[in-house]
Each structure stands twice: as C-alpha cells, then as structure tokens.
Structure 1
Amino acid sequence: MSDSAAPSPAVTYPVTTRAFGLAIIALSGMQMMAVLDGTVVNLALAPLQNELGLSDAGRNWVVSSYVLAFGGLMLLGGRLGDAFGRKRMFLTGVALFTLASAACGLAQDEGMLIAARVIQGAGAAVASPTAFALVATTFAPGPVRNQAIAIYAAMTGVGSFSGLIIGGALTEVSWRWIFLINLPIGALILVLGTKALVETRADRAPLDVPGAVLATLGSFGVVLGLVEGPERGWTDTLVVASVVIGLVLIGAFLLVERTAQNPLLPFSLFRDRDRVATFVAIFFSGAALFSMTVIVAVFVQEVLGYSPLHAGLSFIPFGGGMALAAVLSSWLAPRLAPRWIIGAGALITCGYLIYASTLDVGAQYWTNLFLPIGGIGFGVGLAVIALPLCAIANVDHDHIGPLTAISLVAQNLGGPIGLAVVSAMATSKTLSLGGTSGPAVSMTDPQIVALGEGYTFGLLGCAVLAVVAGIAALFIRYTPGQVAQAKAAQDLSV
C-alpha cells in the first residue's frame, strides 16, 4: 500500500553540534558593530563639533540621522531578507554599513558626514534584523540555538560597554577613528559571512516600500523642524514647512498602511489597548534614554572639561546599574504586575534626572555625578526586560516577530524625536541667558555657564519624557502570568 501523500522534507540546519564558529562570529559581529557605533559617537560629539565647526543642530543630526534611517527602515530591511534571501541581504547591509563608515571617517564637512550617517543607518537596518533571522535558519533548535542566541545577545552588552572605553580612547587620537575602525571589522564579517552562512529560500511577498519611505521621511521632517527651531526661530519658513510636511507624510503613511497588501504596520496588532500603552511607554522611554546619554556626554566634556576617555569611563556606573536592575526585573517579572516594575523604573529615573538638572559648572564626579548616573541606569534597567515582554504578551506565535520589530522601531524613532525636543529646550535656554550655540572651545566663561544651564534644563526635559513613559505604563494591565508566557514564547520563537 502506498502513502497518499509524500512526507514533507525535513528541515536541515548548517550548524547542529556547536554554536561557536564562523557563522555566529559573523552574525554577532555585525550586532556588536552596530551597537558600538551608536555608543562611541556620543563620546565624539564634542571634538567632532569643534573640528568641523558644527552648529548644535548639526551636531544633533550626526546622531539623529543614523537612528532615524535605522529605525525608519528596519521593518523594510527585515522584509528584504525574506524576499531576496537573508544571506544576500545581510552581506549587502554589512557592505553598505562598512562603506558608509569609511565616508564618515573621511568627511570634510557637515553635509558629507550626515549623508554618510544616513547610509550607515540604512545598512544597519538591512543587516541587523536579517542577522537575527539568520540565527533561526543557521542553528538547529535546542541547545545549539540557545547558545547562539546567548552569544548574539551578549554582543549587545559587550558593544554598549566596550564602546564607552574604545570610543573614548579612539576619540583621544581622532574622532575619525570611531568610524574607520569599522573597516577591518566589516571586511572580516563579509569574509566570514560569505564562507559560513547558507542562503535561505526567497519569499517574493509584496514589499511595502511606500510605507517605509513615508515613515522615514515624515520622521526626518518633524525632527528637522524641531532641531532647527531654536537657532532659526520657530516662525522660520524652513522650520514650519519641515514640521508640517513631516506630519502630512506621517498621516499619508497611516493611510497607506490601511490598504497595503503586506503592511509594515498591521493595524490589527493595535486593537489591544494594553499593547498601545506599551508602545507609548517604549517610545518615550527610548526618547528619555537616548536624549539623556547625548546631553550628559556633551555636558561633561564641554562644561566640565572631561576628555573623551574620561567621559566614557564616567558612564560605567550607568552600565552597572542597568545590569543590576535587569537581573532584578527578570526576577520580579513573573511575580509582580509589569506596570509597577516599569513605573518604579520611570520614577527612579525621573528623580535622578531632576537632581542632575540642578548641577552647574562646579559639579564634581564622585560627589554629584556618580550616584545619579548609576541610579538612572538602574531605573532604565527595570524597564528593559518588562517592556519588550509586554509588547508580545497575549498574542499567538506568528505575531511575536512583527511585534518585537515594531517595539524596536518605536524605541529607535523615539530617540531622535526626543533628542530634538530636549535639544531645542537646551539651546533656547542657553540663548536666553546670553550664551551661544556652536563649538564650546571658542566660548567665554559666562557663555560656558549659560551652555551648562541649557544642558541641565535639557535634563529636566528628559525627566518629563520619563514621567510620560511611567504614566503610559500604568495603563498596561498585563498580569505576571501573561508576561511569563510571553517570555517562554519568545524563547521558542527564534
């Protein structure tokens, strides 16, 4: 008797016995390079601004342009891997990121640097989500894949922490080296990826290119208006037109998503009010964290006179506090409603930011900065476990991937928008006190004092962002049991 149907072919995986090897080095190496780039740039902002003569708006664009391109194109980047093959698109993204890094390191003016940063962000938007997806098709389920995920995740922490030291040390030589260091790393990843990774089957699903373009350009428009407003004036034609056009494009994006065949932002995922509150909390917590790190990095260098390496070392308590709170949050998540964990983190962060907003040019590290930097890290750490789990709570397995990606986009887009608002507050405050924008190296002592007042006023803005995130978290009604189930589903989804 013959079978009525042929059995489905068994799924085969290139790596089945041991995770550590060329494949995971290539995939996790890209993750570390992307995270490292985001960390080291903050430490180089002050010397970079001084050497190129950037305005405060231009300095902010150095960080915002990368994150906007990365966050705005991330969902499309993941879909490109599905449509054209994950290995092919991973290598394309790495190559684009590496070449753009070279252009950043060789930039001679503001326009060239910002344009290269946009391309760099686009490369990361293709390579990063594709790299994580390749983990599922490269490593066999079970212990091997668990090892691969652990190595991949560890690279995020290694990149964040080592970026403080490496970035400061490289910037002591020249800010250009924080970009040029990516060239040998990127070349090695390309060689290893070409040799060790296996191509996946292409799925020619429709790509929502209009949605990705509208979302990215809309965000750029709003941020452009907010960044340029303090120096040009809020009634300036460019400022008003940028904000209006940006909002129109974002509105057009929402309309396109309602009719797109394969939308980047499926509206069906937002019918749960708890999930909407979660994304609001993620957006504003990302805005507070991103803005705070930039403001503190330039404050300690331009106002307190720290060297880039000294500034990097001063952030170490932040990483320690964040790691300690992440462990505590992991223990609390299955025992306590997430809204209280996230709310407590927001309250702690807000309290330390308010204290930091009272500092001036006479602030001392061990007396005035050590505890607030560590305390803010602890407050942020309480939320970094619970919020992503709330994003995927109470959904079926097929929605975990899209919701995880959307939460990352919300966090990435919240950063530059929050920085634009906070920087506008800081610059407006500085100018109102008789200070000036631009490189601090040419400022008089009274102008430095005004600059410091502006930065600390910006930290007060960061505290407001943290408060909004905490208030949004109070509307999240997921139970500890639902969060625990989300954690178990997340572990099985890769």
Structure 2
Amino acid sequence: MVVLDGTVANLALARLQDDLGLSDAGRNWVVTSYALAFGGLMLLGGRIGDAWGRKKMFIVGVAMFTVSSLLCGLAFNEATLVAARALQGTGAAIAAPTALALVATTFAPGPARNQAFAIFAAMTGIGSIAGLIVGGALTQVSWRWIFLINVPIGFVIVGLAFLALRETDHERLSLDVQGAVLATLGCTAIVFGISEGPELGWRSGWVLGALVAGLVLLAVFLVVERNADNPLVPFSLFANRDRVATFIAIFFASAVMFCMAIYVAQFVQNILGYSPLKAGLAFIPFAFGMGASAFVASKLAVHIQARWLVITGGAIMVAGLLYGSTLDGTATYLGNLFVPIVAIGFGVGMAVVPLPLCAVAGVGPAEIGPLTAITQVAQTLGGPLALAVIGAAATSRTLSLGGTNGPASDMDPHQLWALGEGYTFALVGCAGCAVIAGAVALFIRFTPQQVALAHEAQEAAHRG
C-alpha cells in the first residue's frame, strides 16, 4: 500500500489538475509532498519503532496513513490535498521501516524468515506495478478513489496487527527529532523555491526567501548532526569516497525514474489523449524491462565492476530519453513509445541494481542497517528534489513558447503544443540526471568480489 501510493498518483495528476484547477507547481506538489515527508522522516520512523515498540508504532503509522488517505480523497483544493499527502508520507515513514523490522522479529531465523522476506520483497514489486494498473483503473471512475481505497484496507491492517503481531523489546533512545525536522523542512523550502520560481518570478520575495531558508536549515542540520548523541546520519559512514559516489549515483538514478514517470504520464494523457487506464497499461513494459535487466545485472555484478553496469544503464537511459524528447502529438505507442519505454526500463534496472550493494560493500554487519537506511532515503529524496528543478525548467519552456500554466482542458491547440514541448524538455532534464549518475559511477571502484561479499552479508543480515 505504501509503495503503491508513491506511484498511484502519477496517473491521476492530469485529472487532478483539471478537477481542482492546480497550477503546474501545485500538480507536482501532489507527489513531491508525499515523497519529501516519506524520505525525510524515514530514518526517524525506524528509530521511533526501536524506542517505543515496533508493533505500537506500526499501528500508529498505518492509522495515520489511513486517516490521511481519507483526507486526500475528500480534498477540495490544492492546499488541503498537498497537506494530506504530506501527512500520508509521514505515516508511511513510520509504517514502512517498522514493517520491515517486524518481519525480522516475528519470524524465526531460517526458512520461515527467508520466505517472509521474499514475500515482503514481492509485495514491494507488486505494489509498484499495481500502482500503474490500479491507479489508472480507479482514476477512470474518480481520482478520489485512488486514496479512498486505502481506507478499508488500512482498517483491516490495523485490526489484524492488534491480533497477530507481538510487541518487540525496546529501550528509550535519544531520538534526533530536531535533525529529521530540519532536514525535511530544508529540502521542502528549497523545492518550494525552485518549483514556484517560474510562476512567481525568480526575484520574488517568496522564492528567494524559501531558497535562503532552505540552505540555512540544511546548514543547521549539519551542525546538529555533528553534535547529536544519536544522529540520524553518522558522518563516519561517509568517510569512504567510493561510498559517497555511490549515494550520489543512487540519488540521480532514482531521480530519472521518478521524474520520467510523471512527465511521460502527463504527455500520453494530455497530449496523446490516453485515458488514465490506458496510460497505466502503457507503462507495464517499463516494469518488465526493468525486471529483466535487474536479473541480468544481479548476475553480472559479481563478475564485472559495478561502475560499468551503472554506466551502461545510464547510457541506455540517455539514448531512450533523448529520443523521447523529440516526440510530439503525432507519436504512436507501437511506432514511437514502446521500444523507448522498454529500453529506459532496462537501463534503469541495469543502473540501480548494483548500487545498493556498493553502498554496503566492505563494511561490518553492524553498519549494514544504517547504510541500507541511508540508501533508501537517497532513493526516495532524489525524485522530489530533481523534480523541482526539472519541473521549473519544463514550465519555463512551456511559458517561453506561448503556453500557459494550468489544466490542459482549458488550452487551445497552440498552448497544448507548447505544453507538450515542456513535457518533452523535461525528458532532457531526466537524461541529464542519467548522465550525472553515469559520470559519478566512474569514481565507484568496488570490485566484483566486494559486491559479492556485500550481497552475502545482506542475506546474512536478513537471516538474522
């Protein structure tokens, strides 16, 4: 449910924008507010479960997610929807890490726990694909149902959690709440400033104030982390240059997937006239391409240096995205879209599979958990932060060509053409992110043997 809601809104954005009259920046905030809260508070969410009990905090997280889903479904303007999505992301940030930890504590080491982790991973994969199909199908009825469907499911999960889960041992820990809040608010302020720049003007007091405030908040965050008793991000984990390059590559590779999905979904609906369901089905080959390359990359990673896999995947993504940036309203699915969608999915899988293993290569068992958590944060925050820049560039491109900002249903043919040019220009920005990921990968020098040992260490950590 948590993974599905990270993608399900992509296919409803066109309908949402038309129904609520959202600006382009407001449309992007529907997905960005969820991702920022989810990624920014995820590390704190895991620590809260350790400190106050994982069963209790899992139930709190799911309940918060469920209530906020109801608020999303009942939203009547941009502000209420964005606020509810931020609350939904906060609930996800508590529920997701405690859910993973509960799998480890609920099942005994051995086959039972291994099978439980396999099911957990499968649910993550199914959630990302189901988001495309379920999101498209429900949006055909009403965009509100993509959120309201969570309400009965959430009630069932909470009820079963009370009955089936056991509370875990826990101890009162000093929680770095200040660090989590500073990091999240700092990222949010910067995203706000960049997103609103094309509409309010780059000299606007709101824009400049938000950018300055964001930088100040992040600077204060760094100071707080250096002095915190139990910091969210221990700086010792960044002492290895190869690992720092890995985190940067993860950030930009995740940004490609996040931003591309949003703008391709907008292009096929607003420019090519696809229904939300047809748009969702059109994305399924992306998932198959990604799955196929993930299988190949996992086999090659123990024989070939990870950086070459990342660079190869980045090159494939760049080629597919630059081709996509040349398309217009005359494009057809089989003639112009199918092959690039599969190819980009293949490139994404080739690039992202070896990177999490590089993040934990050459470290002891005690460091695997924190490094894996930082990897997940980098994956989650890469998208919304990149979307702020790419979205601003796309909006500026549309406005410079005589387009307008707002629902596509209100636009004349020339304005729609300008809107399409903005969407395809966003793919150039995605290609830029892929180039950066590939360039940074040149500095990742982990050997296939180190990656293989990291894979074994991760499996051992899961087995307890």
Matched residue of 1:477: which SS?
A: coil
Partner residue in 2 for 1:25: none
- 8 Å Cα contact 2:250-2:352 kept in structure 1: no
| Structure 2 residue identity aligned to 1:106 | L
The 5 Å alignment of 1:30-109 reads 33-109=1-77
Matched residue of 2:251: which SS?
A: helix
Partner residue in 2 for 1:294: 262
User: How many angstroms does 1:383 deviate by?
Assistant: 2.1
- For residues 215 and 382 of structure 2, the distance between their equivalents in structure 1, rounded to whole angstroms, comes to 15
Runs of at least 5 residues in structure 1 that lack an aligned partner in the other structure = 1-32
- 8 Å Cα contact 2:10-2:262 kept in structure 1: yes
Partner residue in 1 for 2:81: 113
| Structure 2 residue identity aligned to 1:56 | D
Q: Do structure 1's residue 357 and structure 2's residue 357 form an aligned pair? A: no
| Structure 1 residue identity aligned to 2:52 | F
- For residues 192 and 225 of structure 2, the distance between their equivalents in structure 1, rounded to whole angstroms, comes to 24
- For residues 224 and 159 of structure 2, the distance between their equivalents in structure 1, rounded to whole angstroms, comes to 39
- For residues 293 and 161 of structure 2, the distance between their equivalents in structure 1, rounded to whole angstroms, comes to 35
Partner residue in 2 for 1:154: 122
Q: Do structure 1's residue 176 and structure 2's residue 144 form an aligned pair? A: yes
- Which digits, 9 at most, give the CA deviation of each residue in 1:243-299, with x for residues without a partner? 110011011101110010000000000000000000000111111111111011111
Q: Of residues 185, 210, 213 in structure 2, which corresponds to 1:245?
A: 213
Matched residue of 1:395: which SS?
A: coil
Runs of at least 5 residues in structure 2 that lack an aligned partner in the other structure = none
User: How many angstroms does 1:492 deviate by?
Assistant: 1.2
Partner residue in 2 for 1:143: 111
Partner residue in 2 for 1:390: 358
Matched residue of 1:315: which SS?
A: helix
- For residues 199 and 213 of structure 2, the distance between their equivalents in structure 1, rounded to whole angstroms, comes to 20
- For residues 93 and 133 of structure 2, the distance between their equivalents in structure 1, rounded to whole angstroms, comes to 25
- For residues 253 and 422 of structure 2, the distance between their equivalents in structure 1, rounded to whole angstroms, comes to 22
TM-score by length of 1: 0.93
User: How many angstroms does 1:461 deviate by?
Assistant: 0.5
- For residues 416 and 96 of structure 2, the distance between their equivalents in structure 1, rounded to whole angstroms, comes to 40
User: How many angstroms does 1:136 deviate by?
Assistant: 1.1
- For residues 58 and 438 of structure 2, the distance between their equivalents in structure 1, rounded to whole angstroms, comes to 36
User: How many angstroms does 1:235 deviate by?
Assistant: 1.0
- For residues 9 and 142 of structure 2, the distance between their equivalents in structure 1, rounded to whole angstroms, comes to 12
Partner residue in 1 for 2:188: 220
User: How many angstroms does 1:239 deviate by?
Assistant: 0.7
Partner residue in 2 for 1:278: 246
Partner residue in 1 for 2:296: 328
TM-score by length of 2: 0.99
Partner residue in 2 for 1:460: 428
Q: Of residues 350, 353, 374 in structure 2, which corresponds to 1:406?
A: 374
Q: Do structure 1's residue 189 and structure 2's residue 157 form an aligned pair? A: yes
- For residues 35 and 150 of structure 2, the distance between their equivalents in structure 1, rounded to whole angstroms, comes to 17
- 8 Å Cα contact 2:365-2:457 kept in structure 1: yes
- For residues 279 and 40 of structure 1, the distance between their equivalents in structure 2, rounded to whole angstroms, comes to 26
User: 4+ residue runs of structure 1 moved beyond 2 angstroms?
Assistant: none
- Which digits, 9 at most, give the CA deviation of each residue in 1:8-49, with x for residues without a partner? xxxxxxxxxxxxxxxxxxxxxxxxx01111121000000011
- Which digits, 9 at most, give the CA deviation of each residue in 1:187-241, with x for residues without a partner? 1111111111100112211100110000000000000001101111111111111
- For residues 162 and 288 of structure 1, the distance between their equivalents in structure 2, rounded to whole angstroms, comes to 20
| Structure 2 residue identity aligned to 1:37 | D
- For residues 38 and 279 of structure 1, the distance between their equivalents in structure 2, rounded to whole angstroms, comes to 21
- For residues 431 and 353 of structure 2, the distance between their equivalents in structure 1, rounded to whole angstroms, comes to 21
- For residues 72 and 165 of structure 1, the distance between their equivalents in structure 2, rounded to whole angstroms, comes to 28
Q: Of residues 474, 481, 484 in structure 1, which corresponds to 2:452?
A: 484
- For residues 481 and 384 of structure 1, the distance between their equivalents in structure 2, rounded to whole angstroms, comes to 18
Partner residue in 2 for 1:132: 100
Q: Report the count of equivalent residues.
A: 462
User: How many angstroms does 1:384 deviate by?
Assistant: 2.5
Matched residue of 2:443: which SS?
A: coil
Q: Of residues 118, 123, 131 in structure 2, which corresponds to 1:163?
A: 131
- For residues 197 and 212 of structure 1, the distance between their equivalents in structure 2, rounded to whole angstroms, comes to 28
Partner residue in 2 for 1:26: none
| Structure 1 residue identity aligned to 2:383 | G
- For residues 45 and 85 of structure 2, the distance between their equivalents in structure 1, rounded to whole angstroms, comes to 17
- For residues 149 and 325 of structure 2, the distance between their equivalents in structure 1, rounded to whole angstroms, comes to 35
- For residues 414 and 166 of structure 1, the distance between their equivalents in structure 2, rounded to whole angstroms, comes to 25
Partner residue in 2 for 1:11: none
- For residues 329 and 419 of structure 2, the distance between their equivalents in structure 1, rounded to whole angstroms, comes to 9
Partner residue in 2 for 1:4: none
The 5 Å alignment of 1:430-449 reads 430-449=398-417
Matched residue of 1:476: which SS?
A: coil
- Which digits, 9 at most, give the CA deviation of each residue in 1:321-359, with x for residues without a partner? 000000000110100000001111011001100110001
Matched residue of 2:353: which SS?
A: helix
- 8 Å Cα contact 2:251-2:381 kept in structure 1: yes
Q: Of residues 317, 340, 351 in structure 1, which corresponds to 2:285?
A: 317
Matched residue of 1:140: which SS?
A: coil
- For residues 244 and 172 of structure 1, the distance between their equivalents in structure 2, rounded to whole angstroms, comes to 42
User: How many angstroms does 1:460 deviate by?
Assistant: 0.2
- For residues 119 and 351 of structure 2, the distance between their equivalents in structure 1, rounded to whole angstroms, comes to 22
| Structure 2 residue identity aligned to 1:36 | L
- For residues 445 and 358 of structure 1, the distance between their equivalents in structure 2, rounded to whole angstroms, comes to 18
Partner residue in 2 for 1:203: 171
Partner residue in 2 for 1:379: 347
User: How many angstroms does 1:411 deviate by?
Assistant: 1.3
- Which digits, 9 at most, give the CA deviation of each residue in 1:436-483, with x for residues without a partner? 011000100010000000110110000001100111111100000000
| Structure 2 residue identity aligned to 1:98 | T
Partner residue in 2 for 1:266: 234
